[in-house]
Structure 1
Amino acid sequence: MIDAWAATVEFNLHVQGRIDGGTVIVVRGDLDYAALDQFRTCVEQALQPPPGILYVDLQLLTFVDSTGVGALVAARHHAERAGTRLVLENPSSMLQHALRTASLLTSFGLPPA
Protein backbone atom coordinates (compact mmCIF):
# COMPACT_ATOMS: atom_id res chain seq x y z
CA MET A 1 0.00 0.00 0.00
CA ILE A 2 1.32 3.41 -1.00
CA ASP A 3 0.88 6.03 1.72
CA ALA A 4 2.49 9.41 1.19
CA TRP A 5 1.63 13.02 1.96
CA ALA A 6 2.83 16.07 0.09
CA ALA A 7 1.66 19.41 1.43
CA THR A 8 1.78 23.14 0.90
CA VAL A 9 -0.18 25.81 2.70
CA GLU A 10 -3.33 25.57 0.58
CA PHE A 11 -2.93 22.33 -1.33
CA ASN A 12 -2.12 18.74 -0.45
CA LEU A 13 -2.23 15.34 -2.02
CA HIS A 14 -2.68 11.95 -0.42
CA VAL A 15 -1.72 8.86 -2.40
CA GLN A 16 -2.93 5.43 -1.38
CA GLY A 17 -3.59 2.01 -2.81
CA ARG A 18 -7.10 0.63 -3.24
CA ILE A 19 -8.27 -2.73 -1.97
CA ASP A 20 -9.68 -3.54 -5.40
CA GLY A 21 -6.42 -2.50 -7.09
CA GLY A 22 -5.25 0.74 -8.58
CA THR A 23 -3.91 3.84 -6.93
CA VAL A 24 -5.80 6.87 -5.61
CA ILE A 25 -4.61 10.47 -5.48
CA VAL A 26 -6.82 12.49 -3.15
CA VAL A 27 -6.66 16.17 -4.07
CA ARG A 28 -7.40 18.72 -1.35
CA GLY A 29 -7.43 22.47 -1.99
CA ASP A 30 -6.89 24.56 -5.11
CA LEU A 31 -5.62 22.89 -8.27
CA ASP A 32 -4.05 25.90 -9.96
CA TYR A 33 -0.69 27.19 -11.18
CA ALA A 34 0.81 27.13 -7.68
CA ALA A 35 -0.04 23.41 -7.33
CA LEU A 36 0.98 22.36 -10.83
CA ASP A 37 4.47 21.01 -10.12
CA GLN A 38 3.37 19.19 -6.98
CA PHE A 39 0.44 17.55 -8.80
CA ARG A 40 2.62 16.56 -11.77
CA THR A 41 5.25 15.00 -9.48
CA CYS A 42 2.58 13.14 -7.53
CA VAL A 43 1.08 11.69 -10.73
CA GLU A 44 4.52 10.58 -11.96
CA GLN A 45 5.23 8.84 -8.64
CA ALA A 46 1.78 7.22 -8.53
CA LEU A 47 2.46 5.69 -11.95
CA GLN A 48 5.63 3.92 -10.72
CA PRO A 49 4.96 1.09 -11.26
CA PRO A 50 1.87 1.73 -13.38
CA PRO A 51 -1.32 0.66 -11.59
CA GLY A 52 -4.18 -0.73 -13.65
CA ILE A 53 -6.21 2.37 -12.85
CA LEU A 54 -5.20 5.73 -11.42
CA TYR A 55 -8.09 7.34 -9.56
CA VAL A 56 -8.01 11.08 -8.87
CA ASP A 57 -10.45 11.79 -6.03
CA LEU A 58 -11.61 15.39 -6.30
CA GLN A 59 -14.16 15.47 -3.49
CA LEU A 60 -12.01 17.94 -1.50
CA LEU A 61 -11.08 20.13 -4.48
CA THR A 62 -11.96 23.73 -3.64
CA PHE A 63 -10.93 25.52 -6.85
CA VAL A 64 -9.69 24.69 -10.32
CA ASP A 65 -8.53 27.06 -13.03
CA SER A 66 -7.45 26.46 -16.61
CA THR A 67 -4.00 25.44 -15.39
CA GLY A 68 -5.60 22.79 -13.17
CA VAL A 69 -7.71 21.51 -16.06
CA GLY A 70 -4.55 21.34 -18.15
CA ALA A 71 -2.83 19.41 -15.36
CA LEU A 72 -5.66 16.85 -15.37
CA VAL A 73 -5.40 16.50 -19.16
CA ALA A 74 -1.63 16.04 -18.92
CA ALA A 75 -2.11 13.46 -16.15
CA ARG A 76 -4.56 11.54 -18.35
CA HIS A 77 -2.06 11.52 -21.24
CA HIS A 78 0.78 10.48 -18.92
CA ALA A 79 -1.34 7.64 -17.51
CA GLU A 80 -2.30 6.46 -21.00
CA ARG A 81 1.36 6.38 -22.05
CA ALA A 82 2.03 4.23 -18.98
CA GLY A 83 -0.78 1.85 -19.96
CA THR A 84 -3.03 3.06 -17.14
CA ARG A 85 -6.52 4.47 -17.21
CA LEU A 86 -7.14 7.71 -15.29
CA VAL A 87 -10.53 8.03 -13.60
CA LEU A 88 -11.85 11.22 -12.02
CA GLU A 89 -13.82 10.47 -8.86
CA ASN A 90 -16.23 12.90 -7.20
CA PRO A 91 -15.78 15.76 -9.66
CA SER A 92 -17.55 18.86 -8.36
CA SER A 93 -20.04 20.80 -10.44
CA MET A 94 -17.36 23.53 -10.69
CA LEU A 95 -14.89 21.09 -12.25
CA GLN A 96 -17.53 19.55 -14.49
CA HIS A 97 -18.42 23.05 -15.72
CA ALA A 98 -14.75 23.78 -16.48
CA LEU A 99 -14.41 20.46 -18.33
CA ARG A 100 -17.67 21.06 -20.21
CA THR A 101 -16.49 24.55 -21.24
CA ALA A 102 -13.28 23.01 -22.61
CA SER A 103 -15.24 20.16 -24.30
CA LEU A 104 -13.38 17.60 -22.17
CA LEU A 105 -16.17 15.83 -20.26
CA THR A 106 -16.33 12.77 -22.49
CA SER A 107 -12.54 12.48 -22.78
CA PHE A 108 -12.55 11.84 -19.01
CA GLY A 109 -15.41 9.39 -19.32
CA LEU A 110 -17.91 11.77 -17.73
CA PRO A 111 -21.40 12.05 -19.21
CA PRO A 112 -22.14 15.23 -21.14
CA ALA A 113 -24.57 17.47 -19.26
Structure 2
Amino acid sequence: MSDEIVTNLDRDADTTTLSLAGEVDVLTVDQVRVALEEALADRPREIVVDLSELSFIDSTGLGAIIFGFQRARDAGIRFRLAHPTRTVHQILMLSGLLEVVEVTP
Protein backbone atom coordinates (compact mmCIF):
# COMPACT_ATOMS: atom_id res chain seq x y z
CA MET A 1 0.00 0.00 0.00
CA SER A 2 1.07 3.51 -0.70
CA ASP A 3 0.24 7.03 0.29
CA GLU A 4 1.44 8.31 -3.08
CA ILE A 5 -1.29 9.59 -5.37
CA VAL A 6 -1.32 12.73 -7.41
CA THR A 7 -4.64 14.18 -8.48
CA ASN A 8 -4.93 17.05 -10.92
CA LEU A 9 -8.08 18.73 -12.22
CA ASP A 10 -7.99 20.40 -15.62
CA ARG A 11 -11.08 22.34 -16.60
CA ASP A 12 -12.25 23.71 -19.91
CA ALA A 13 -15.66 24.92 -21.09
CA ASP A 14 -17.32 21.50 -21.34
CA THR A 15 -14.98 18.95 -19.79
CA THR A 16 -13.30 18.46 -16.43
CA THR A 17 -10.40 16.02 -16.58
CA LEU A 18 -9.19 14.35 -13.40
CA SER A 19 -5.70 12.91 -13.88
CA LEU A 20 -4.55 10.24 -11.43
CA ALA A 21 -0.90 9.29 -11.02
CA GLY A 22 0.55 6.70 -8.66
CA GLU A 23 -1.54 4.20 -6.70
CA VAL A 24 -5.11 4.38 -5.47
CA ASP A 25 -5.63 2.26 -2.39
CA VAL A 26 -7.15 2.52 1.08
CA LEU A 27 -4.55 5.13 2.08
CA THR A 28 -5.10 7.43 -0.91
CA VAL A 29 -8.72 6.90 -1.91
CA ASP A 30 -9.98 9.88 0.08
CA GLN A 31 -7.91 12.20 -2.12
CA VAL A 32 -9.56 10.68 -5.18
CA ARG A 33 -13.04 11.07 -3.68
CA VAL A 34 -12.37 14.74 -2.90
CA ALA A 35 -11.11 15.35 -6.45
CA LEU A 36 -14.19 13.63 -7.90
CA GLU A 37 -16.43 15.80 -5.71
CA GLU A 38 -14.65 18.90 -7.01
CA ALA A 39 -15.07 17.72 -10.60
CA LEU A 40 -18.78 17.07 -10.03
CA ALA A 41 -19.23 20.48 -8.39
CA ASP A 42 -18.12 22.12 -11.66
CA ARG A 43 -21.18 20.57 -13.38
CA PRO A 44 -19.35 20.08 -16.70
CA ARG A 45 -20.92 18.29 -19.63
CA GLU A 46 -18.28 15.56 -19.24
CA ILE A 47 -15.86 14.22 -16.63
CA VAL A 48 -12.84 12.32 -17.91
CA VAL A 49 -10.69 10.36 -15.46
CA ASP A 50 -7.23 10.02 -17.03
CA LEU A 51 -5.58 6.80 -15.84
CA SER A 52 -2.47 6.96 -18.03
CA GLU A 53 -0.16 7.53 -15.04
CA LEU A 54 -1.99 5.24 -12.61
CA SER A 55 0.02 2.16 -11.69
CA PHE A 56 -2.47 0.44 -9.34
CA ILE A 57 -6.05 0.66 -8.10
CA ASP A 58 -7.61 -1.51 -5.40
CA SER A 59 -11.25 -2.19 -4.51
CA THR A 60 -11.58 1.04 -2.53
CA GLY A 61 -10.40 2.97 -5.60
CA LEU A 62 -12.85 1.09 -7.81
CA GLY A 63 -15.56 2.04 -5.33
CA ALA A 64 -14.59 5.71 -5.64
CA ILE A 65 -14.78 5.46 -9.46
CA ILE A 66 -18.24 3.86 -9.21
CA PHE A 67 -19.32 6.60 -6.80
CA GLY A 68 -18.16 9.27 -9.25
CA PHE A 69 -19.82 7.51 -12.18
CA GLN A 70 -23.16 7.19 -10.36
CA ARG A 71 -23.15 10.81 -9.19
CA ALA A 72 -22.29 12.01 -12.70
CA ARG A 73 -24.99 9.84 -14.27
CA ASP A 74 -27.57 11.14 -11.80
CA ALA A 75 -26.58 14.72 -12.70
CA GLY A 76 -26.70 14.07 -16.46
CA ILE A 77 -22.92 14.38 -16.80
CA ARG A 78 -21.05 12.05 -19.20
CA PHE A 79 -18.37 10.11 -17.27
CA ARG A 80 -15.56 8.12 -18.82
CA LEU A 81 -12.20 6.63 -18.00
CA ALA A 82 -9.32 7.28 -20.39
CA HIS A 83 -5.95 5.75 -21.19
CA PRO A 84 -5.69 3.03 -18.52
CA THR A 85 -2.33 1.31 -18.26
CA ARG A 86 -2.30 -2.39 -19.07
CA THR A 87 -2.28 -3.33 -15.38
CA VAL A 88 -5.12 -0.98 -14.48
CA HIS A 89 -7.11 -2.09 -17.55
CA GLN A 90 -6.85 -5.71 -16.37
CA ILE A 91 -8.10 -4.73 -12.91
CA LEU A 92 -11.01 -2.80 -14.45
CA MET A 93 -11.84 -5.78 -16.67
CA LEU A 94 -11.72 -8.30 -13.81
CA SER A 95 -13.88 -6.06 -11.64
CA GLY A 96 -16.61 -5.87 -14.30
CA LEU A 97 -16.38 -2.08 -14.32
CA LEU A 98 -15.69 -2.02 -18.06
CA GLU A 99 -19.23 -3.30 -18.62
CA VAL A 100 -20.66 -0.23 -16.83
CA VAL A 101 -18.30 2.71 -17.31
CA GLU A 102 -17.12 3.94 -20.71
CA VAL A 103 -13.38 3.52 -21.24
CA THR A 104 -11.40 5.06 -24.10
CA PRO A 105 -7.93 3.71 -24.95
Letter in 1 for 2:7: L
Letter in 2 for 1:13: T
1 or 2 for the larger relative contact order (CA 8 Å, sep ≥6)? 2
* Contiguous gaps of at least 5 residues in structure 1: 1-8
Letter in 2 for 1:33: V
Alpha-carbon distance between aligned partners in 2 of 1:49 and 1:79, rounded to the nearest angstrom: 11
Letter in 1 for 2:11: G
Alpha-carbon distance between aligned partners in 1 of 2:56 and 2:29, rounded to the nearest angstrom: 13
Aligned residues: 102
* Contiguous gaps of at least 5 residues in structure 2: none
Moved over 6 A (4+): none
Other-structure match for 2:24: 31
RMSD of aligned C-alpha atoms? 1.7
Other-structure match for 1:4: none
Name the SS of the counterpart of 1:33 in structure 2: coil
Identity level (%):
30
Alpha-carbon distance between aligned partners in 2 of 1:104 and 1:65, rounded to the nearest angstrom: 13
Deviations 1:35-91 (A, max 9, x none): 111111111111123100000001110111111111111111111122211110101
Alpha-carbon distance between aligned partners in 2 of 1:67 and 1:56, rounded to the nearest angstrom: 16
Other-structure match for 2:42: 49
Aligned ranges 1:56-71 → 2 under 5 Å: 56-71=49-64
TM-score (norm 1): 0.81
TM-score (norm 2): 0.86
